[in-house]
Structure 1
Amino acid sequence: MRSLRRHPLLVPVLLCACAVLAARPATTNDTSDTAGTAAADGDSVLSAKVTRLYEEAAVATRHYEAGRREADEQRAKAESLEALLDRQRAEVAVLREDLGRIARAQYRDGGGMPVTAQIILADSPEELMRGQHVFSRTNLAVNNAVEKNRRAEARLTADEEKAKEAWRDLDRRSTELASLKQDIEAKLEEAREELQGRAEASVAAGACRGAVRLDQPETHFASRWVAPVETYELSASYGSGGDRWARRHTGQDFAVPIGTPVRAVGEGRVVRVSCGGPFGIEIVLQHPNGYYTQYAHLAAVAVDQGERVGTGQWIGQSGSTGNSTGPHLHFEVRVTPESGSALDPEAWLASREVNLG
């Protein structure tokens, strides 16, 4: 057996190798933690992006609707101008006809005869005066008609230009608003698809990706209870039948797009956050009055188990995970945190002055 003393460099080399091997697992864990943190940060950024785009889309929709009303008013104004133009065109046509009629009458009656000739041919002074009176009146009528026609044609020209400008403004405004709305909705749809894709991956893995923190809006609710989403359409109701449920539907569905902020209907504590199974990503809250509420088929959660929440606080984002045929929030009220103890959520909320519909 060879002595280690004959290789003085061997001992330091072995010690370094042992140190590297001992440190390797720790390095792997650090990388995993970093990757997990990066994934969580990515989820938070994506959820925040969806929320921001959701708000921008709502603002764009409000502006679009306001623009549409403005366009309707502009259209009514343009149509009014068109009607005015039609009346003015008819008026000008009548004036031109009047001018022609007056000119023909003057020609027949000698209205253009010189005054000297009228004096010579007049049988009496009275006849001469009558002729002069008729001539003056006819001449005044002609001058008035000519001036009225000139003014009408000037108004017609100006109003025609106003009508054209009104239609141009209408088309330009409508195009701008429609383009803005479509651009935001396209970005929102892309972000929603990515959010739903990550949610489905979590459900498939049976492991939640962790809470994403959303910037909570300032809320001042007059009531202790609110609806679980702000804007919605009611779909499947409590107790309704269907092929998707073993017996009867156990909750109230709210048809909302993916990424819609989901609110706690009242203050309480998060007793369950789970990913997987027929409900997909779900949250269950326990309320001080002994009832529980469930929020299912989510795309993301914004709270952790054990966390306390307030009325109207955003606790997640809607999705279409689990046994779901489309984007919606499945909302239940229970007397226990488990399935099988559900009550009619619409009646339960109505008894707390929250009327759905």
Structure 2
Amino acid sequence: MAAAIAALLASGTGPASADDGPGIGRLSARADRLMREASNAVAAHEKAQDAVRKGERRLADVARRQAAEQRRLDALRATLGRQARSEYQGASGLGTMLPLLTSSSPQRALDAGVRASRGDRAARQLTDRVTESRDRVADRRAESARLVKGLKAQEERRSAAREDIEAKLAKAEAEVRRARARVLAAGPMPTGGGNCARGDVGGHKRAGKGRTWVKPVSPAPLSAGFGSGGSFWSHRHTGQDFAVPTGTPVRAVGAGTVEYVGCGDGFGNQVIVRHADGYFTQYAHLSRIGVSTGDRLDAGEVLGLSGATGNVSGPHLHFEVRVTPQFGSGIDPLPWLRARGVGV
């Protein structure tokens, strides 16, 4: 059995060769298919997530316009009310005829009548504006209701996609575990996971104080990027690598809770953080871990030191953004960071 294949099986990040033992290739093929399907589900999740973000912006815009129109309507109604009270207080049974009949200057009386007629037209115009404004407010409310209904549908699609991802990846992981068990039965294999070193990481000093999102390491020289290396899940790079030397402080890119701390697989010493927006970030190949599962982290807080544990050719930070905590649910980290104002 090739050492490289054994290392992939040990890490749970790749399929076995059909020559590695009875059923291993078949199990791996099923895992590969499930991972591909999970990748499609990730794309569906991101599409629904994008629709939710656009819908939320649209809803906020409609709400602003509705509030502005409601203020305009209230002002128009107030003006109309004042005018109605004024007309009521000055009204007489003979209307505009009495001034004409009793005036020593019929022309001036006629002029006053014309002005009164113009006032009537202004009142009608004001009433029309009130009606139009009221209709626009109703339209905004109807549009808001449609948008809320659409957002609910997109949220349901996003939730269903996440559940689909989790189910498929759980099945894929089970397939890999079965394959790993068969290989273990054939003989020992390397774990490639480092020593799960824990300890002081230079204190929990924050970087970018006051910022919501930050770089995981600084400086942040990029090396292997997301999706590079091949077209199949077992060969495609699942995150973004930062070429930093061993011992570089690694920081939580945003506030969150430590979801997982582990070692012993191809990622070596790793930390996974859950963020409030539902995404997860992974920090792998660490030389030292400074946090525990359940810890609350601020943006920029040090969680470990970079290193070369796991299946690596040299020291660097492997950084992932995932839809779920599971391997295989990753998305391209750089656009995700840039959308949050982090220049990398």
TM-score normalised by structure 1 residue count: 0.48
Question: Deviations 1:99-146 (Å, cap 9, x if unpaired)?
Answer: 111112222333874232221232312430232122112101110011
1:239, 1:99 → 2: CA distance? Answer: 75
Which residue identity is paired with 2:147? A
Contact 2:28 2:179 in 1 (8 A): no
Deviation of the 1:252 alpha carbon: 8.7
Q: Does structure 1 retain, via aligned residues, the 8 Å contact 2:99–2:109? A: yes
Pairing 1:156–2:137 present: yes
Deviations along 1:174-222, whole A, 9 cap, x unmatched?
21122123223222123213312431442254078xxxxxxxxxx9989
Alignment-derived partner of residue 48 in structure 2: 67
Aligned position for 1:320? none
Matches within 5 A, 1:259-298: none
Q: Which has the higher contact order (CA 8 A, sep 6+)?
A: 2
Structure 1 residues 177 and 229: alpha-carbon distance in aligned structure 2, compared to 1, 3 A threshold: same
- Is it true that 1:232 corresponds to 2:213 in the alignment? no
Distance 2:43 2:93 in 1: 68
d(CA) in 2 for partners of 1:111, 1:49: 92
Structure 2: distance between partners of 1:153 and 1:202? 73
Whole-angstrom CA distance in 2 between matches of 1:203 and 1:331 = 22
Q: Does 1:136 align with 2:117?
A: yes
CA contact (8 A) 1:50 1:192 kept: yes
Q: Kindly indicate whether the alpha-carbon contact (under 8 Å) linking 1:232 and 1:256 is maintained by their aligned counterparts in 2.
A: no
Q: What corresponds to 1:264 in structure 2?
A: none
Report the equivalent of 1:99.
80
Match among 94, 105, 123 for residue 124 of structure 1: 105
Q: 2:270 and 2:101 mapped to 1: Cα distance?
A: 98
Contact preservation (8 Å) 1:233, 1:254: no
Q: Kindly indicate whether residue 91 of structure 2 is the aligned counterpart of residue 84 of structure 1.
A: no
Q: 1:239 to 1:81 in 2, by over 3 A?
A: closer
What is the aligned partner in structure 1 of residue 334 from structure 2?
Answer: none
The 5 Å alignment of 1:4-23 reads none
Would you identify which runs of 4 or more consecutive aligned residues in structure 1 move more than 6 Å? Answer: 219-222, 235-241, 254-257
Q: Which amino acid is the alignment partner of residue 27 of structure 2?
A: L
Supply the distance in 1 between the matched residues of 2:44 and 2:73 (Cα, whole angstroms). 42
**Counterpart position of 2:25:** 44
1:187 aligns with 2:168: yes
Q: Does the CA-based 8 Å contact 1:85-1:159 persist in structure 2?
A: yes
The answer for unaligned runs of 5 or more in structure 1 is 1-36, 209-218, 242-250, 258-327, 333-343, 347-356
Match of 1:108 among 89, 97, 101: 89
Q: Describe the SS at the equivalent of 1:330.
A: coil
Q: 1:45 to 1:121 in 2, by over 3 A?
A: farther
What is the CA–CA distance in structure 2 between the aligned matches of 1:159 and 1:59, rounded to whole Å?
36
Task: Map 1:197-346; keep pairs closer than 5 Å.
Answer: 197-206=178-187, 229-232=236-239, 330-332=311-313, 344=314
Conserved? CA contact 1:235–1:254, under 8 Å: no
1:243-298: CA deviation from partner (whole Å, max 9, x where unpaired): xxxxxxxx9959799xxxxxxxxxxxxxxxxxxxxxxxxxxxxxxxxxxxxxxxxx
Query: Quick check: which one's helix share is greater?
Result: 1
| Residue in 2 that maps onto 1:287 | none
**Gap change, CA 1:235 and 1:41, over 3 Å in 2:** farther
Residue type of the partner of 2:51?
A: E
Q: Contact (CA 8 Å) 1:331, 1:345: kept in 2 or not? A: yes
Structure 1 CA distance for aligned equivalents of residues 93 and 43 of structure 2: 68
- Find the residue that maps to 2:311 and give its secondary structure: strand
Offset, 1:90: 1.5
Alignment deviations for residues 51-81 of structure 1 (CA, whole Å, 9 cap, x no partner): 2222222222223223212211111111111
Match of 1:173 among 154, 177, 193: 154
- Of 148-157 and 197-206, deviating more is 197-206
Q: Is the 8 A contact 1:71 1:170 kept in 2?
A: yes
Matches of 1:56 and 1:229 in 2, distance apart?
15
What is residue 35 of structure 2 aligned with on the other side?
54
Describe the shift of the 1:112–1:50 C-alpha distance in structure 2 as closer, same or farther (beyond 3 A).
farther
Contact 2:52–2:151 (CA under 8 A) maintained in structure 1: yes
Distance 1:197 1:143, change over 3 A: same
Q: Which structure would you say has the larger Rg? A: 1
- For the Cα contact (< 8 Å) 1:95–1:149, is it kept in 2? yes
Task: List alignment gaps of at least 5 residues for structure 2.
Answer: 1-17, 190-226, 249-265, 273-308, 317-343
Give the Cα separation in 1 of the matches to 2:241 and 2:183.
27
